[in-house]
Amino acid sequence: NMNLISLNDHCVIIEECEVPLYKLLHDEHGFDVITCPFRVINEFGGGIHCATWDIHRQDACVDYFPNQDYDAECQLDLNNYFDKEVLANDAIKNV
């Protein structure tokens, strides 16, 4: 589950049971991670980010992905993007 609230470029809030996400963000990437008990809400769909209001920031808007080609991504035909043969073989293995 990657549902989180980003407070700034180095501090996030995540659900306290998300131990792998905590390890990834805190241990591997050096984020300050605030945890809170929120698992019961997840039972109804969505997560901590989905269940909160937008945060009003007093700083400027920052594009953390300046090399992202949003126009090209919006043109992708996701119905034909993935290798259907590989997906079919994986589905057979999991039966």
Q: What is the pLDDT of residue 71?
A: 79
Q: What is the pLDDT of residue 95?
A: 47
Per domain, the residue ranges of the chain are 5-93
pLDDT tens for residues 6-37? 888 899 999 888 899 999 999 999 999 999 88
| Percentage of the chain modeled with pLDDT above 70 | 66
The answer to pTM > 0.95 is no
pLDDT tens for residues 45-59? 677 777 777 667 777
C-alpha pair distances (Å), 52 with each of 5, 38, 49, 56: 9, 12, 6, 12
pLDDT tens for residues 2-13? 788 888 889 999
